[in-house]
Structure 1
C-alpha cells in the first residue's frame, strides 16, 4: 500500500473521530486522522453529562483520548485542514491545505460543525461559558439562576419547556417581534415565563460571564445564563462528495451511519442536533465498527 493511501481516512480528530479511530485501530486498520485542532467547544471551560469525565475541561478529555488512540500503531495523525474530498478512480481523494493529497477506500466525516454567531456584541465571548447551547450539557450548573433564552417561535417555545424544569426565573427574548402563536404565548404566561420582544444591543459580561443584556431602547436586564439557538454550517465543503444534507443542515445518514454516498460515513455533531461529547463518542465507536465490517465483507 502506498504511503499516502489508507484503508480509512477520518476527517476530524475530536471525540467522534478519535472514537472511530480507536475502533478501527483495534481492528488493525490502516487509518489516517486529519484534524485542524479547532473543536467547537474550545472555549467551554467544563464538559458535563459524560460518565467518568463529568466536569472535566474538554481539552483534557480529548488530549487523553488522543494519547490512547496514538498507542495503536496502524493509526496515523495529520495536523492539517481539509480543502476538498471527492471520489477518485474507485477511491476517495482528500486534499489538505499544506500536506497534499491522500487516498482511502473509505471515508469517515467526523468534522463537526461551525457555529454562526448572531451580530450581538459580547455574544461570541460568552459562547460556551454563560451563553449555552444545551441544557443537558450545562443546565445543572445554572439551575435556579436568573436565566434567559434567545430564540423565537417554535424553537423558543421548545427550549422554554426544557429549561423550565431547571429554573423558574425564566425569560424568553425573541429579539424582535414574537413569532409564538397564541397558544404558546398563553402557555408561557401561565408558567410565568416572561416574553421580551425588545431588540438586543449587546451583552455586558466579565470574562465571558454574563452580567446583563442591554437593549436598543435603553432597557437593561440582569442575567446569569442565556440559552441560544444559533445557525450552523458544515466545517468542510462536502459538495464535491455529493452527500445530501437534512433540512437542518446536518449530513444525512442512515441507521448504519452511511451517508447518501456509498463508502462515505459520518458521525458526531455534523449529523445531529444532539451535540454532546458523550453522543459524539458513542457515534464514533459505532461508525468505526460499521466501517470495519464493510471492509471485512469486501476483502474476506
Structure 2
C-alpha cells in the first residue's frame, strides 16, 4: 500500500493536477521513468456526462469511467505513483520548488507541475438541455455521431461557426439548423446550406423533449414539435481550475474559449510548468488529451534528467 502523501517527506519529482486522460498519460511516462509522481484528482472529468467514448484507439464504445478506472489500476502498479483524491486549491513557486495546496489543507512540494486541469462547458440556459448533455445533446459528431446515423439531427446556433457545423453534421443525417433567435446567415452561407440540404429554423426553442436523457423532439416557442434524435452545439468553455492563471501562465484565444499557451513539448510560459489536455489545446477529444499527456510526461522527465547537466 502506498503511504499517505502527508508522510512523504521529500518533494515529488512532479505533481500532476488532474487524473483523466491527459493527467494519467503524463503520470505513466514519469512512473516508467522511475520518478516519484503524485496525481491529484477530484474525480470530475469533462466527459463524465457521456455513457460511452468513441474513436479512442482500442477503446471504441467504452464507458469513460471504466477507461479511467482501468488506467488508474495500471498506474497504481507502480510504487512511485501516489494518488490524491482531492482538489488543488492553489499552486505557487518556481521551477524546482513548487508548492500545491489541497482543498483539504495539506501541501505537496514538487520540482515540476503538469496541469491537466481541463475545461468546463458553459451550456445554453434552455429547458431540457443540460439533462441530456453528453447523451443526446452533443458537441462532437466524431465522438457521438455514428450511432445517430440517418436520424433527424439538429445544430443549435451558439457561435458564428454554427452554420459550418450544420454543413458537417449532414454527413450523419438530415440536419436542421436552429437559429433560436440568432441572425440569419448571409446569402453565401445560405447557398451552401441549401446545397447540403440543411433546413433553417429561425424560431426560438421552448424546450427539448424526450424520455429521460434521450431526445425525441425540439419544441418551438410557437408550439411546433420537430422530431429530433440528437442536437449538436458548440458551447463556450472556461478553465476548470484557476491554477494556470495563478501560476502566471500565458493564455490565448482558442476555438471555444481561452487555452493555456504551450510549446511542442507542452511546456507553458512558466518554467517547470507543463500543461496537457483540453485546457491546453484548441481541438478536443480523448485521443488528443492522452497524446498530449504522453508528450508532457516525457518532456518533464527529460527536463529533470538534463537540469543538473545544463547547470554544470
Q: How far did 1:66 drift? A: 0.4
CA distance in 2: counterparts of 1:99 and 1:142, whole angstroms: 46
1:201 aligns to 2:202 (yes or no): no
The aligned counterpart of 2:81 is 75
What is the CA RMSD across the aligned residues, in angstroms? Answer: 1.7
Aligned to 1:29: 35
SS state of the match for residue 28, structure 2?
Answer: helix
- The structure-2 alpha-carbon separation of the partners of 1:97 and 1:152, relative to structure 1 and needing over 3 Å to count, comes to closer
Deviations 1:33-92 (A, max 9, x none): 000001111121111101211111111111000000111111101000111112259522
Partner Cα distance (2:82, 2:64) in 1: 22
* Contact kept in structure 2, 1:80 and 1:99, CA below 8 Å: no
- Of 290-299 and 153-162, more deviation after overlay is shown by 153-162
User: Equivalent residue for 1:174?
Assistant: 179
Q: 1:11 aligns with which of 17, 31, 50?
A: 17
Deviating more after overlay: 233-242 vs 287-296: 233-242
Show structure 1 runs of 4+ deviating over 4 A: none
Within-5 A mapping of 1:1-300: 3=9, 5-87=11-93, 91-152=97-158, 154-167=160-173, 169-178=174-183, 180-237=185-242, 238-248=244-254, 249-300=258-309
Residues 87-142 of structure 1 show CA distances to partners (whole Å, capped at 9, x for unaligned) of 25952221110042112111101111111111111111100001111111111111
CA distance in 1: counterparts of 2:39 and 2:302, whole angstroms: 19
Once residues 71 and 99 of structure 1 are traced to their aligned partners in structure 2, the CA distance between those partners, rounded to angstroms, is 27
Distance 1:82 1:121 in 2: 33
Within 1, Cα distance between the matches of 2:94 and 2:26?
23
List alignment gaps of at least 5 residues for structure 1: none
**TM-score after normalising by structure 1:** 0.95
Corresponding residue pairs, total: 299
Residue 186 of structure 1, CA deviation? 1.6
Report the TM-score when normalising by structure 2. Answer: 0.91
Say if 2:96 and 2:272, in contact at 8 Å, map to a contact too: no
